[in-house]
Amino acid sequence: MSRFRSLIQASLNATKKALTWNVDDLMPPCEKYIFSFNCKEEIKKWHLYSDSEYGGLSSASLEVTDEGDGFKGLFSGTLSLDVMEGSKWNISRSGFCGMRSKKFNGFIDLDSYDTIALKLKGDGRCYISTIYTENWVNSPGQQEDNSWQAFVYVPAGNWYIAKIPLARYLPTWRGNVIDASMEMNPARVLGMSLSVNAEGGVPGARSGPGDFRVEIDWIKAVRNE
């Protein structure tokens, strides 16, 4: 009888262990790499934009460098508030540059995560992190992706991991926060961008026209709760 009980107990223990393993196996990892600038091929996933497309004089570049500590992305350039003489565009502001990822093949699902983390080395400026999600609003004449933005202050000099809760990303329309009752759908993320403006940002951050420079090691989604 004792042998029979031992077999039953061993079977129960094995079943419990298997069930526990299956639950853990189904749970997504606590972090998910979205971008890692660990090779020169990485920059093919991005394209640059700036006010120069509308008559501004700002410029930007994106490259992958290796200064002895492995490959890193380098987003740099010059911000200008001036506008090209004779420009056909009647722009209300200039002084911005950005790097935007090409659309993912389909979308990525970040529903299991609550925070975006970026490992950066900057220049004391405030940058803007943008998440693009599938447009489910379907407003007349609004065919663009939904965009959600949050400020990222990057101290100068040292590597810094910025963590931005998804709840801090606000809905925007062409760079302006919109007053609308919208919720981000993190299960349908189409792309991301990192940009910089000559003006605005958080108090104490460097601002104004001139050079900007930020190194990027990686961008992850993490689960803190």
In a domain, 4, yes or no: no
For the purposes of burial, counting CB atoms within 10 Å of the CB of 114, is it exposed (0-12), middle (13-18) or buried (19 or more)? middle
In a domain, 16, yes or no: no
In a domain, 14, yes or no: no
In a domain, 83, yes or no: yes
Per-residue pLDDT tens digits for 166-217: 999 999 877 778 877 788 999 999 999 999 999 988 889 999 999 999 999 9
> How much is the pLDDT for 67?
80
> How much is the pLDDT for 4?
46
Residues 6+ apart with CB under 8 A from 60: 48, 50, 75, 76, 77, 78, 97, 98, 99
> How much is the pLDDT for 200?
85
> How much is the pLDDT for 145?
82
Per-residue pLDDT tens digits for 3-52: 445 544 545 555 455 445 444 455 678 999 999 999 999 999 999 999 99
In a domain, 82, yes or no: yes
> How much is the pLDDT for 198?
94
Say which CATH number the domain at 86 has: 2.60.120.430
In one-letter notation, the amino acid at residue 106 is: G
Per-residue pLDDT tens digits for 114-156: 999 999 999 999 999 999 998 755 454 555 788 999 999 999 9
Q: Number of structural domains, the chain? A: 1
